[in-house]
Structure formats: C-alpha cells, structure tokens
Structure 1
Amino acid sequence: SILIKITEIMPKCKNADERYKVYDKLFSDASHPYGYCWEEIALELEQNITQQQFNRDLKDMIALFFKGKEFENIFSKKTRGKKAYFTYLDKTQRIDVNSKTFETISKLSHMEGLGIDNIIDDLCETAGVHRSDNSVISYASVKKLDGLDWLLPFYYCILNKQVIEIDFLREFEKEETYTIHPYHLRRYNGRWFLFGWNPEMKHIYNISFERVLDFRIKPEIVYEDAESHGIHFGGENDYYKDVVGVTKFDNEPVRKIYIRFSDKSFHYVKTKPLHPSQKIVKKNEVSIEVSPNYELDSLILSFGKNAEVIGPPEYRDHIKEIVNSLVDTYKD
C-alpha cells in the first residue's frame, strides 16, 4: 500500500496526529474528572515535547476538529496547587484523527523531480515523518526553517475558511497584530509565506512564517473568499503571475524589461528562465514582462557583472543606483 505505516517509520507520538490521539484519550477519560496535568500527559506521550508545543497542539486541535469554538467551550483547565489539569468539558465527545497528512506525503514522495521536493521535506519536518536516508537525487537547501511549525495550522485554516488574528514582528522589530482572511501558502527562496486579505488595509497582505509569533482563530468574523475581492491564486489570473517572488506593489505597473547576459549566463537563463514571460530577443538578450520589486532586483544583481539591464531607462537607472551604492559601501 502507498500509505505509510506510521508506527514503522517513527517513534511513538512523534507526529502531531499521534499526539492528538493521546490527548483525546486522556481528555475523555471519565475516571479522571479533573483531567491530567502536564507531567502525566508528557509521560503518556513517551517523548519530550515542550509546554509551548503542547499549547500549540491544543490550538491546532481546535482549528482541525472544533471549528467555530473557543478553548473555554471545549477544554476544562483547572489548577490544583501549582499544577494545571486539562480535560474535555464534555467527556463523551471524541475526535476522529485521520492520518491523511501522512498518506498525502507518502504519495507526494513518489513524485520527486516534479518541483515539489522542498514542499515534501517541509511537510515531513512539520508532521514528524522521516524520509529514507538513502537518496539517489539531492538538492541544496537550508534544512532548518524558522517558523515551519505554522505550515500545517495555516494550511488547515485555509481549508476550513477560518479568519485568523496574527501576532507578528513587522520588519523583525515592531510587534503588530493583523486580522487576516487566509488564502494561499507560497514557498519562495527557502521561506514560507501566508497570503490573505487584510480588512484594515483592504488589500492582500503576506507574512513570512519566521515573523509570526502567535495566531488565534476568530470564529465571530465571517470569512471572505478571495474571489469576493476579485483575487485568484493559480491559473491564468494568478495574483502573482506578473511578479518575481512574493512582493506585489499596487502602484507598480507591469513593464517589459530587457536584460543582456554574458555568454555563460545566457545559456543558464535559457534553461532556467527568470520568469514565465521570458522571451529571447536576440543572442544574449531576453525580455520579461513583470512588475518590478525587491526580488527582481536581487535576482538580476545575483548575476553580478554577467547581467545588464538594457531598458526601460527608469528601471536601468534604478539598478544603476543600487550598484553605485554598493561601490560606495566597498570604498576604503
């Protein structure tokens, strides 16, 4: 069977689904009316997980199995002495933990080489699934991604159409809180991003996972589909079809940008286009139709002296200013 047997590939309770089963068993145990304290739960799990992970697991359980309910309507948390005890308010309720996540990962793992290798690894790391150590094909990547724990929770919030309130660090310094109607997850340059409608700003907003501090589901807020704002992810009308990366400026028009490459770099961009709109204009020169952003700047500059922006003049001047500032930086 293509379905991986979880018990054969990981220790007990290594993945989230197995932990949910243990929590569900303990919280519905009628012989313990007060519930179980953290130490007892950790002992039953037979693994060392942090209090933070436990709290996040409870939050994820609410998102997955108790849509529209708050913590206090599902769980009882009582303090006896210095210890907190957890249980279900209704001990007759049970959750149906289905390991579809792992079945999906198993199927995807048979499709490597189709551009989804990084996503498979991220899902495996998040869910606790271990892939084989014997690899025929490999690729260079940063194995530890900050914020990766948010991948599955955000994924399920999108599937369940749940509005969320996110605490995050803006520019990694100032803490802010935004309400987001989540629509899409995108991986770019080794980082994961959540995209959604920001009702305060009235436009699409993206947040990188490593900046997220916490989030809460807001069942009292009616979810607004992307289509209701005339936005589509994927297909011919993909919201990001005219940009490189994840940054889109509403006031930045799409332009045809011409770039000249050295012989060596030209062969590289012929086989690995800068953007789906790329066309070969003539030998060593290509054009792309995009809305300029930070990611495009970085991509072009990554070629160093082997790439030169030919036009339009305003974008050529923009890149020239960046290069001149670099020269000033390295002056003795």
Structure 2
Amino acid sequence: MATNKHAIIRYEALDRCFSNKGRKFFIDDLITYVSAAIEEYSGSKASISRRQIFKDMDFMRSEAGFRAPIESYKEGKKTYYRYSDRSYSLAMQQINPVEADLLKTTLDMLGRFKGLPQFDFVQELALKLKKSFQLEDLGDCIFFDQNEYLKNLHLLGDLLKIIQDKRVLYVRYQSFNQNREKSFLFHPYFLKQYNKRWFLFGQREDFENWSSLALDRIIDFSVEYDEVYKPANIHPDDYFEDLIGVSKPTELTAQLVRIKINKSLWPYIDSKPLHPSQKILEKKEDYTIIQLDVIPNYEFYAQILSFGQAIEVIAPESVRLAIKEKLIAMLDRYS
C-alpha cells in the first residue's frame, strides 16, 4: 500500500464520502472534499485532479489496495459514487502482512513496560489489537465489552484531530431528553468513554460550564475556522475528581457519602472501588461501611441502585432520601 502521506489522507477522505449514507458525492464533490482534507492536514492549498481521484478509486478497489466495494450510480447525466455495501469502511478492514508485522513489533516493544503502574493499559490494549487484527489465533478465548452498534463511532478520528488542532465546531445536536435539535458553537477539549458510550467534552459558546455531548446524539458538525478557540481552564483530572461517570450537575457540590455494604458484595467493591476517594470507615463480620467524596449525580444513583439490597446509603440524609424516592417510584411502576 502506498505510504505517501497525502495518499493516505486521500483514501481516508474518500472513505468518508463513500460511506456517507445521507449525501451523494459526485466527482466534483469528491475533488472538493479531498482537497479540503489535505489542506486541513498540511495547512496549504491542495489541487487534486479528476484523474487522481479516479486513480485512487481504482487502487481502493484493487486487491493490492482495500478491495473496497466502490460503485458508480447514474443520476440524470451525472454520476455519484458510494460503497455498495453500506456497512463497509476502511477502518473495519484487516491490515496487510507488512502492517501486521510492524504492529506485532510495536506490541512486543510495549510489552517490555508491563508491570509498571503507568503502563497498566498495555496488556489489555495488546489483547484488543491482537484480536481485532487477528495477529494471533485467539479464537473465541477472549471477548471485550464493546458497543459495536453505537452510532457515530467513525467520528472519533476526525474529532481527535480537531481537538489536537484546537478548532471550534458548529454542532447540530439532539440530546436524549429533547424533542428538537439544537445548534451551537463548541470548543472541544477531550473525548471520554463511559459505559460503552463516547462523550465529547468542551465549552459551549452560550454556557458558562463545560458540556458533554454524547457522540451518538451528534447529528452533524463543521469546523468554524474564523472562530477563536477558547482553551480549557481546568485539567480533565480535576474536572472528574469528584465524579462517577460523566455528568456534572452545576447545582450540586461534592459530599461525603457513607455507604453500608453487605459482606456478600464487599469483595467485589473492595477489588473494584466505586470511586478513587473510597475509604473504609468501619469493618464488621457482616458488613463494611465506606465513605466516598463525590457529587451525587445520575451515574452515582444508577450505580448504587444496581447493587440492590446488598448496599445501603446511610448518610447524608438528602442522598438517602433521594434513593428512597427513586425506589418508591420504581415500586409504583409494578403495583
């Protein structure tokens, strides 16, 4: 496969065009889109010819390339191009033997850091890559908890590049609890995954505090090159210090929450703390009492309720009462 950087950018740009289910890309559209992609990457004007686009499509279709199912469709006197297999994308294809060897070498090198605290992620990452790219015949020996049906996963690469370039976005978005979409300027800071869902964090132009946008609820976005980017005024580690999950209610502050845990559940909570602030206040034969320094947000309540009768919030009274109200409302559903 060609290693020319502009060639790779062209293939990835064309891939986004051909896999776009909501728009038809004619040859002039492809030229414009690919030229813009190269200009965004290199910072200089790019001029792509029709001949180059057709050569790129031939390569992408070929056995030496990606065996991409690119088809042409007539619409009047014009022709547009897209994948005949609507689920196809370059990101889903197996890498070639040369790339596989390079990846194996990289994983072997990363393996030397195994055991160091700051490289705890390496072993899991290596297993994921080996299974995803079939670097070893792992068969059905290991599975990862991923949401393969989550919408907009293909946006991760573009958004990461936009964050690195410190660009402002114009976003069309519809949240889970709203019937209408909203449009706004957004200064993106970082991406975070929680509970098999991806979130984009940043500053909305019309909000004082940070916002989190669920990736699968983003309808569309574009880069606003004339807007001045506002850098983050707080580090993500500080932002999430008192949170479980991703939501941060602006009207709440962190509280010391005491929780009584049944002895049957304690080994699980002990090995996988609910929050980094977790500490033991009292340990008896039948139960353990812990304390968390957290904001009681949606994810906090969802996690506490998920443990059922094996867990009990004993303080503060406001949090205990909130859980009681939720349980009564749930019971009413079944009565």
Common fold, TM-score beyond 0.5? Answer: yes
Mind listing any 5+ residue stretches in structure 2 that lack a counterpart?
51-74, 82-98
Q: 1:51 to 1:328 in 2, by over 3 A?
A: closer
Which of the numbers 189, 212, 215 marks the counterpart of 1:209? 215
Q: Match of 1:83, as an amino acid?
A: T
CA RMSD between the two structures: 4.4
The correspondence of residues 38-187 of structure 1 with structure 2, limited to 5 A, is 49-50=19-20, 62=36, 65-66=39-40, 81-83=77-79, 107=106, 114-115=120-121, 130-132=133-135, 134-135=137-138, 137-171=142-176, 173-187=179-193
Q: TM-score, normalization: structure 1?
A: 0.68
| Residue number in structure 2 paired with 1:281 | 281
Aligned match of 1:37: none
2:240 matches 1:240: yes
Cα offsets for 1:3-47 (capped at 9, x unmatched):
xxxx6xxxx99xx996634489xxxxxxxxxxxxxxxx89xx9xx
Residues 91-133 of structure 1: CA distance to partner in whole angstroms, max 9, x if unpaired?
A: xxxxxxxxxx9989985795699347888899999xxx73446
* CA deviation profile, 1:126-181 (whole Å, cap 9, x unmatched): xxx73446336544333332221111111000000010111121226321112110
Tell me: CA distance 1:23–1:151, structure 2 relative to 1, closer, same or farther (3 Å). closer
- Native 8 Å contact 1:163 1:217 kept in 2: yes
> Is the counterpart of residue 192 in structure 1 residue 198 in structure 2?
yes
Displacement of 1:301 after TM fit?
0.5
Aligned residue pair count: 273
Q: Which residue of 2 aligns with 1:91?
A: none
CA deviations over 1:259-314 (Å, ceiling 9, x no partner): 11111211111110000000011121111001110000000011011110010000
Residue of structure 1 equivalent to 2:334: 330
The worse-fitting range, judged by mean Cα deviation, of 274-283 and 166-175 is 166-175
Find 1:291's aligned residue among 287, 295, 310.
Answer: 295
- Compared CA separation, residues 156 and 303, structure 1 to 2 (3 A): same
CA–CA separation in structure 2 for the residues paired with 1:68 and 1:188 = 33
Contact 1:60 1:153 (C-alpha < 8 Å) held by counterparts:
no
Query: Aligned residue for 2:226?
Result: 220
Paired residues of 2:34 and 2:48 also in contact (CA < 8 A): no
Structure-2 separation of matches of 1:239 and 1:119: 26
Secondary structure at 1:170's aligned position in 2?
Answer: coil
TM-score, normalising length: structure 2: 0.67
Relative contact order, higher structure (CA 8 A, sep 6+): 1
Q: Measure, in 1, the Cα distance between the counterparts of 2:222 and 2:173.
A: 12
Amino acid at match of 2:9: Y
Compute the displacement of 1:80 (Å).
Answer: 9.0
The whole-number CA distance in structure 2 between the counterparts of 1:174 and 1:306 is 40
1:266–1:285 CA contact under 8 A, matched in 2: no
> In the alignment, what sits opposite 2:85?
none
Which residue number in structure 2 is paired with residue 308 of structure 1?
312
Distance 2:308 2:301 in 1: 11
SS in 1 for 2:236: coil
The 1:223–1:120 alpha-carbon spacing in structure 2 relative to 1, beyond 3 Å, is farther
Shift of 1:233: 1.5
Do the aligned residues in 2 keep the contact of 1:258 with 1:312 (CA within 8 Å)? yes
Aligned AA (1:231):
I
Structure 2: distance between partners of 1:123 and 1:54 = 34
Q: Which residue identity lines up with residue 254 of structure 2 in the other structure? A: V
Provide the rounded CA distance (Å) in 2 between the counterparts of 1:147 and 1:119: 22
The CA deviation at 1:242 is 0.7
Give 5+ residue unaligned stretches, structure 1: 1-6, 25-40, 86-100
In the TM superposition, what is the alpha-carbon distance from 1:247 to its structure 2 partner? 0.4
- The alignment partner of 1:66 has SS state of helix
What is the alpha-carbon distance in structure 1 between the residues aligned to residue 124 and residue 22 of structure 2?
26
Q: What CA distance in whole angstroms lies between the structure 2 residues aligned with 1:196 and 1:23?
A: 26
- Deviation per CA, 1:31-65: give whole Å up to 9, x if none: xxxxxxxxxx89xx9xx745659869976974674
- The residue identity in structure 1 corresponding to 2:151 is D
CA contact (8 A) 1:259 1:309 kept: yes
Secondary structure of the structure 2 residue equivalent to 1:201: coil
